[in-house]
Structure 1
Amino acid sequence: MQNMYEAGTIIIRQRHVPNECYLVLSGKLEVLYGDANLKAQLFTSEMLYEAEEGDFIGEICLLTMTNHLTSVICKSEVELLVISKEDFDATLANARFEQYHGTCNFLRKLTLFSSWPTEKIDFLVHCSLRRFYRLTGTTVVPDSLNSYFLVVVKSGRCLVATQLNQERISAHSSKMHSFSSLHKKFIALSLLEEKKDFAWRLLKRPAGLSQKSYSATHRTNCNQIPRRLRPQTAAVSCYSLRERKSPSDLEQKEPSERDDQTRTVIKKQKVASSAPLFLKTWALEQEGIFGLAETMDTFCGLKFSLISEGADCIFIPKKIFLEKAPDKSKRAALELVSTYPTEKMIRESYTRQQAWSTYKAGVVGEQIKRCTRPTSDHFSF
């Protein structure tokens, strides 16, 4: 049956025996995990994450016949589909049981969780969520810095995107290395070649996966760029050529009109240069992990978003991971984070690709002009 609950209503109490589970139809709930201090007779709790529309709550405890491991409180007005234990056993138990064990077995195969004891893996899955994204372009995590979760891609594919400020990109352009050395260095990092023995086991990327999936940005295919130094004149253009007027157009206008037009163009250039760029930086496929750098407190200077291209994802609360992870697992996490591209590498790669695109456009444009030049320009009779 469907029930409405006011904000502040306690839906589930930690350590209580389960007799029903819930499907969130609307609203948000806070999932809390607490520790008891028997000597001080205190019970403290902290929020693990927020449950939202489409999430199941409490069904794993019905499957495993264990007391609730967390408490759940309505953050806002919430509508829930309440499913009794009898109805759950008759309709959903078999499918959810297979999903639960599939999640446990999947995590055990990952190097990051291979050192976890069975009981800790079970506890981790109890506190986690499974979410399915069928539509391409759905935002899975809008901001990595403000997310409660580590996200593991169980199947499908997601894109990792970030925002870059064009003014800061310009500041990097004067400190660039040669195009050839940068190209080789970036691809090596994006393919995890520097840590191949370890990171290859962590990610277990399919053998047929193309290099393009792990390139810094998808705006230019790095494999198609000639490995040679760009001419010194090649640079990123800060404004669109469509905003420019021909010299003859400017000469035909009055001085006041030319001044107004110039100010308008300059204003548009400033707006364009200050607008952030939204770039796709790399892809995550099966066994890829998002949010690990932020969990291990190794902030790279950029915030990232996770965008689905059709994926089945496991959402693991960061607090549970940090509290329960063995030392070996934490070392593996730091080792994996060290293979990620840095802010500087992403900015430099984008700047080089833009410089190459600008140079290529200029060469192509000049060639078109030569091909379309009237015959009279070449011959006189």
Structure 2
Amino acid sequence: MRRVVITGAGTINPLGADVPATLSAMRAGRCGIGALDIPDVDRLSIQIGGQIKDYDETAHFNRQQIALYDRFTQFTLLAARQAITQSGLHFSGGLADRSGVVLGTSGGGLNTQDENYRAVYEAGKNRVHPFIVPKLMNNAAASHVSMEWNLRGPSFTVATACASSNHAMGQAFNMIRSGMTEVIVTGGSEAMLCFGGIKAWEGLRVMSRDACRPFSATRNGMVQGEGAGVFVFEEYEHAKARGAEILCEVAGFAMTSDASDIVMPSKQGAARAIAGALADAKLDADQVGYINAHGTGTAANDKTECSAVADVFGAHADQLMISSTKSMHGHLIGATGAVELLACIMALRDGVIAPTIGYEEPDPECALDVVPNEARDARVDVALTNAFAFGGLNAVLALRKH
């Protein structure tokens, strides 16, 4: 099996418009959650979110591109540019044929869908733009990245709710490891902060009206966010031969299904995914120093995840640091695992553990070191990142310091 490394990273999210800004915000424990600025926000009972503020699409794209790119595609393209530029790769000839795109999203072009439902059903219009379908389809972002960068190998989109980007990155990892490809541009993107997107989540009654406080006894629900995280996954010898800067190594991946309930998480399913990622990476539990938790801030997720971690790690669970950066940027749904991977890279490269902010009161059912409120300096050689989705679909990546 070939080794896989990360040679480029890019993002735009509520904490920053690039990786340095995002990591700086994580170190500072800055909160990117605030009042929403969207049409008809006064009709919503949930009026906060991790929204990318002061975003001007015309500063990045021309009129023809904007007609084709939903907000989630725009975020993807901006993050992909950063990642590919950092990697230093140029795709032509045989490399282009052996390079692809695997991205995650849950809602796809939800803003486009929302706007056009309004146009047809509320405003009574009988015609829509001819490019609505290419704009709203879930694979739009992957297709536009492949076209912009001449990536002619395997390209597709994964849609598994909140685990979408972890599943996408896991597939990218396995495709390179197996010899199918040399390079995959991977990660995820989401832009659900429109009226319909928020109204739908309101119906689940899992949303907080004031803040995301994972693992705290005072938590009262999750907060939606938006953004993208994109990475260049590359075969190790290929990266080494060209002298590429390596951010970290992707060491293992596992995915499981709870096969039990459409919304309630299962400790057993989560534990099997965590243990599977360790086994795939040939790592012992006591080698792990940090876990970026799924950590949504709901009672069901947080206690289930902590219990799963305790089961897998046993006595070592007390030595682990586990934090949820959703407390800062919100739950980016299909993009969340991609943006959270940045916290793992920061832990491995910089020795800085992103905190769980908003932590107010210990919960006996979440009795782990959740790195409350302030970032921490610590040497970490192995990190895990968890994603546990509605539908009981779990995906865990293991990363190793290079």
Q: TM-score range by the shorter chain?
A: under 0.3
So what's the TM-score if we normalise by structure 2? Answer: 0.21
The structure that has the greater radius of gyration is: 1
